[in-house]
């Protein structure tokens, strides 16, 4: 029997790094309409706590529909603005009909340059609207995209377990954006990170897409969207640190009295200090913007998404690079101090020599 989706949506998401930070209150005043603060709803376990600090800004904007395969996006998009300088753009594509049609949509979405370019245009327009409430605005070249397939109803009341049993091949192909039949090993990997709160709901998280069977999955989508945004920020910070380390090694290996005399070390030290501070602040913001307390469903969703996105590995890489940068700063500061002492010593030597020359000249001049 072919499973029929009677109601559902696919949400393609694109996350961009746009600024060092964004004043969300100022952004709300600039946008004025179609704005609300996004919070994660607590619908499953009352004692649990999952909240943003501070809450991102959710902005609804009109958008021209975009063709994706045989489908069309809705005429509105949603922008989620985070205070750490990121913006996530979310489209909605209604899905209904046979479950077997989902792999084709997943394949059409994978690396879709038309949709990605459209999202970038919307972000560029939004940055221009923000003006000075965005601190050091710059739109990074790369983008992190993700697709969330949310099925609200399946005809015949198919159970959640059927998604990874009876319909495992179709679901895995959808998540992997692969029209061809997948191997058993690939099926196991694609469907390996999943969880359910009840017999009629399921969340399956993969690297580039997730599939939800949930009548009201807004909270789940918000968590997955944040994890995707966190990933793009970590990638951006990691890239910045790579560039900084390359430049820092060059600074550290330079020699010559000229560097100390003309204050180039001071400029490099200020640059390194600012980069350390910016990196540490962003890293701290990404680590604390979502508060997780207690064993609760959304925390488990976030944990699985973090595992799939390798957030821990990115964290470890950035931590090592920040520590390396700190060591380079210390060595550069020591070298700068050493150079200043050398310059001062030479100045003293020159002054003493001049004093001796003046004394000898004076003595010779007054000798009869």
Contacts of 5 by beta carbon, 8 Å cutoff, 6+ apart: 95, 96, 97, 98, 99, 102, 151, 153, 154, 155
Q: Is the pTM of this model over 0.95?
A: no
Q: How far is CA 316 from CA 134, 284, 332, in A?
A: 28, 13, 24
Alpha-helix runs per DSSP H in 62-112: 102-109
Alpha-helix runs per DSSP H in the chain: 24-31, 102-109, 113-130, 168-176, 184-190, 218-253, 257-261, 264-288, 297-309, 311-365
Tens of pLDDT, residues 329-368:
676 666 666 777 777 778 888 888 888 887 777 776 666 5
CB 115 within 8 A of CB 12: yes
Give the separation between CA 145 and CA 263, rounded to whole angstroms.
44
Mean pLDDT highest for which of 247-261, 265-279, 352-366? Answer: 352-366
For residues 32 and 184, which has the higher predicted lDDT (pLDDT)? 184
Establish whether the linkage from the previous residue to 54 is cis, with ω within 30° of 0. yes
**Position 287 pLDDT exceeds 60:** yes
Tens of pLDDT, residues 151-178:
998 886 677 888 898 899 999 999 999 9
Give the per-residue pLDDT at 290: 57
Q: What is the dihedral of CA 313, 314, 315, 319, to 10 degrees?
A: 100
Q: Which of 196, 162, 177 is nearest to 301 (CA)?
A: 196
CB 120 within 8 A of CB 143: yes
- 181 φ/ψ angles, rounded to the nearest 5 degrees: -65, 135
């Amino acid at each position: 029997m072919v499973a029929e989706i009677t109601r559902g949506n696919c949400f393609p998401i694109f996350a961009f790094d746009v600024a060092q930070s964004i004043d969300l209150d100022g952004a709300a005043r600039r946008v004025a309409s179609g704005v609300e603060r996004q919070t994660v709803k607590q619908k499953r376990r009352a004692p649990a706590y999952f909240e943003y600090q501070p809450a991102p800004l959710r902005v609804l904007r009109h958008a021209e529909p975009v063709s994706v395969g045989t489908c069309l996006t809705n005429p509105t998009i949603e922008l989620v603005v985070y205070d750490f300088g990121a913006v996530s753009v979310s489209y909605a594509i209604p899905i209904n009909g046979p479950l077997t049609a989902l792999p084709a949509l997943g394949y059409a979405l994978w690396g879709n340059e038309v949709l990605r370019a459209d999202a970038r245009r919307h972000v560029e327009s939004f940055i221009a609207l923000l003006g000075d409430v965005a601190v050091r605005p710059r739109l990074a070249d790369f983008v992190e995209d993700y697709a969330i397939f949310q099925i609200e109803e399946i005809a015949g009341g198919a159970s959640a377990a059927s998604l990874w049993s009876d319909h495992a091949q179709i679901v895995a192909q959808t998540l992997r954006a692969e029209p061809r039949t997948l191997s058993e090993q690939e099926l196991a990997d694609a469907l390996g990170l999943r969880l359910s709160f009840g017999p009629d709901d399921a969340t399956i998280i993969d690297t580039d897409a997730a599939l939800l069977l949930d009548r009201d999955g807004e909270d789940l989508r918000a968590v997955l969207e944040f994890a995707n945004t966190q990933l793009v920020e970590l990638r951006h910070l990691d890239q910045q640190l790579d560039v900084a380390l390359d430049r820092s090694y060059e600074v550290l290996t330079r020699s010559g009295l000229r560097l100390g005399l003309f204050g180039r070390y001071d400029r490099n030290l200020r640059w390194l200090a600012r980069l350390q501070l910016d990196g540490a602040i962003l890293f701290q913001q990404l680590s604390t913007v979502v508060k997780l307390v207690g064993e609760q469903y959304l925390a488990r969703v976030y944990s699985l998404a973090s595992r799939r996105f390798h957030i821990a590995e990115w964290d470890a890489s950035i931590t090592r690079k920040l520590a390396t940068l700190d060591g380079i700063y210390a060595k550069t500061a020591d070298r700068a101090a050493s150079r200043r002492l050398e310059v001062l010593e030479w100045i003293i030597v020159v002054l003493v020599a001049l004093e001796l020359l003046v004394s000898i000249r004076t003595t010779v001049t007054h000798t009869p």
